[in-house]
A and B are shown apart, each in its own frame.
Chain A
Amino acid sequence: MSLVAHVVVRRGTLALDVELAVADGEVLTVLGPNGAGKSTVLRVLAGLLRPDGGRVEVDDEVWNSPDAHLPAHERSLGMVFQDHLLFPHLSVTENVAFGPRTRGTSRPAARAAAEDWLARVGLAGLGDRRPGQLSGGQAQRAALARALVGRPQLLLLDEPLSALDARTRLTVRAELHRHLGDYPGSAVLVTHDPVDAMALADRVVVIEEGRVVQAGTPAEVARRPRTDYVARLVGLVLLAGQGAGTQVALDGGGTVAVAEDVGGPVFVAVRPESVALYLQRPVGSPRNVWPLRLAAATPHGSVVRCDLAGEVPLTADVTATSFAELGLAPGAEVWASVKASELTVYPR
């Protein structure tokens, strides 16, 4: 394990207490809503903020402990910021060479290393430009080169893609994935975008209100969310209840039939596309049928996302054609049904 950290920070309303471990070559994504404290975790790891407690160790070297604080400039790290933060008064090459220069590399060697890295991120020939003359994607690539040129033990990325437009984001994300794959040290990436998290992470940690609420591989997190926030991010509806046999009594009232025997506290994850809507109570086999009211409908690509209120609050994705045929308007009474075999059930 290369990075082992326990970060404790108390600032105003934020009470942060988070444990992280990242192996060499591993990419850990910290996912969480705004204000959850994920950027604070990154600032502590970088040494820009002194924590109120806990411990940060990198390769068995203590960076933070209750009685020690290694300042940022003495840590072997590289950091990529949301809006790149390339120094506007320096050329792109000088920006990338900045780290090696401050760490004592000779000017020609630092310049050579910078040009090498600029070539690796696809910016060969642009080194003499000022950051202001680069596009958003180019600037973020340069920022990545600046962070990686010193071969840091720890790489920190703070929302590295969120300032980019959708198209650029796609290409930069793919390049970032490649560079993270080549990077031998520990990487921690903070984001609020589940797509970034899923695409770039080896493991995901979800932070809400200063605590880790879920940790696991991207696939685990996507399939079995443990909080409403995560469920929403991965496009699921999360229902909590008590299992008994093939029935789950929901905490909010109502029951759900599931395909397997369960017992004790469980989560039921519902995929919106598995929910079907009817104007009349459907006849036939489905055991899960609820009368609900359409609270809101928003177009979502080729489907219409219908938020349903009632005993079992659900979200249903129906095709635009079906939506039109049903003639639904907000406030309309509908019947929702979902097959037991379409539900994912897992212990709480």
Chain B
Amino acid sequence: MPAPLLVPALLGVAFLVLPLLGLLVRAPWSDLGPQLARPGVGEALRLSLVSATLATVVSLLLGVPLAWVLARSQLRGRSVLRALVTVPLVLPPVVGGVALFLVLGRQGIIGRWLFEATGLSLPFTTAAVVVAETFVAMPFLVISVEGALRAADARFEDAAATLGADRWTTFRRVTLPLVAPGIAAGAVLCWARALGEFGATITFAGNFPGTTQTMPLAVYLTLQRDPEAAIVLSLVLLGVSLATLLLLRDRWLGRGAVT
């Protein structure tokens, strides 16, 4: 391997991994048991996993069709649409949270109407956590799936059309299976981003144990008072997400990559 590639690559690995090692070194291992047994830790972890998974499901349901429109349709203003879709990527998540308030909050453009009609208000509920995480994480899925769609040979879709398949059938039976690995990779990215989401969640959904306090929120607030406990919580989040991703890789990404 040439040194001009190898050296920066090693530096890159060090840069990404050393902070992780820092967490591991500084973790109060002897204190691990009692820290984990503290009330609220399991609750926050469960809430994180459930809400990140729901956010990923919502992102798949909305994001895959959106990626298809961006990659395949002849729609005018597609590039503008693509730029708009990626806005949450560059928006500070806290601003994203405020923006969600302005639309879906009790006083928001849509939320006000909902609140007046039904008395339901989205902020400070678990649903709001899912909404905030979806807002921030879905662009990762859309970008990733759009890339997979562009890379996929569109002539397979032509072939399907000559075999009598309309566009919907073609999408279901040809396009979707062809880009399945890309969708899986996008979903993993989306899930990971949702799991780590902090700014939009704490702004739009607030922070209340059991309802809206996900692990990142718990970590942040614990850090204010007890940095060592915060490290423990971070490691739990890290461990669970790594385990999940490795498991999925074997079961799901691995199989998709064969074709």
Contact = CB atoms under 8 A, between A and B. Distances in A.
Contacts of A46: 158, 161-162
A93 to B, nearest CB: 14
Interface in A114-137: 130, 132
A324 interface: no
B4 to A, nearest CB: 36
Nearest to B176: A89
A47 interface: yes
Interface stretch (B52-60, B123-131, B164-172): B164-172
A85 B259 contact: no
B165 A73 contact: yes
A36 interface: no
Given A102-B169, A130-B259, A132-B259, A85 B159 contact: yes
A74 B167 CA distance: 11
Contacts of B177: 87, 89-90
A88 B169 contact: no
Nearest to A74: B164
Contact of B156 (A73, A85, A150): A85
Nearest to A48: B158
B163 A102 contact: yes
Contacts of B166: 71, 73, 102
A229 B178 CA distance: 40
Interface in A44-82: 46-48, 71-75, 77-79, 81
A78 B163 CA distance: 7
Contacts of B158: 43, 46, 48, 72, 81, 85
Q: For chain B, what secondary structure do more than half of its interface residues adopt (helix, strand, loop), or is it mixed?
A: helix
A99 B259 contact: no
A98 interface: yes
A193 B116 CA distance: 73
Given A87-B174, A88-B259, A89-B178, A103 B164 contact: yes
Contact of A81 (B159, B169, B180): B159
B133 to A, nearest CB: 31
B251 interface: no
Contacts of B159: 79, 81, 85, 87
Interface string A197-224: 0000000000000000000000000000
B178 A72 contact: no
Interface string B131-160: 000000000000000000000010110111
Contacts of A85: 153, 155-156, 158-159
Contacts of B155: 81, 85
A135 B155 CA distance: 20
12 contacts: A71-B161, A73-B160, A73-B169, A87-B160, A87-B174, A87-B178, A89-B178, A102-B160, A102-B164, A102-B169, A130-B259, A150-B163
Closest 8 A/B residue pairs (Cβ): A72-B161, A99-B163, A79-B162, A89-B177, A102-B164, A85-B159, A102-B165, A103-B164
Interface of A: 43, 46-48, 71-75, 77-79, 81, 85, 87-90, 98-99, 102-103, 130, 132, 146-147, 150, 156
